Amino acid sequence: ETGVTQSPTHLIKTRGQQVTLRCSSQSGHNTVSWYQQALGQGPQFIFQYYREEENGRGNFPPRFSGLQFPNYSSELNVNALELDDSALYLCASSLAGTAYGYTFGSGTRLTVV
């Protein structure tokens, strides 16, 4: 059983650029959620994808967008990067309709300069 994998592990971007982060869900999981964790804070929910559609969104602007693919993997796209977007981005997968919890990837650490 494979866990959740995220790529890249680290990334440095310039303000105004665009970035795409990738996540492969755990085998057997069909739901993917994305979280942003600023330094010293708890993770904040960005959005969740189920059956290739957005299934809930947190308090993030539209320049944060995502995709889920038929194999349940997912992408997080952030346009017009701002300095405050610097954070650890975490992907979590789960199986909808079950009483099991979430499994997290190791995260992508994004630095915007």
73 binds other proteins (CB under 8 A): no
Q: Could you give the angle at the alpha carbon of 11 between the alpha carbons of 65 and 20, nearest 5°?
A: 25
106 binds other proteins (CB under 8 A): yes
Choices 14-22, 30-38, 64-72, 74-82 (CB under 8 A): range interacting with other proteins: 30-38
DSSP letter at 87 equals E
45 binds other proteins (CB under 8 A): yes
CA–CA gap between residue 36 and residue 108 (Å, rounded): 10
> How far are the Cα atoms of 41, 46, 101 from residue 24, in angstroms, in the given order?
25, 17, 17
20 binds other proteins (CB under 8 A): no
Report which secondary-structure segment, H or E, holds 108. Answer: strand 108-112
42 binds other proteins (CB under 8 A): yes
61 binds other proteins (CB under 8 A): no
101 binds other proteins (CB under 8 A): yes
55 binds other proteins (CB under 8 A): yes
Per DSSP, the three-state class of 84 is helix
* Nearest approach, Cβ of residue 11 and other proteins (Å): 14
User: Residue 17: how many CB atoms within 10 A of its CB?
Assistant: 13
Contacts with other proteins, residue ranges (CB under 8 A): 31, 33, 35, 37, 41-45, 48, 55-56, 58, 88, 90, 92, 94, 96, 99-104, 106-107, 109
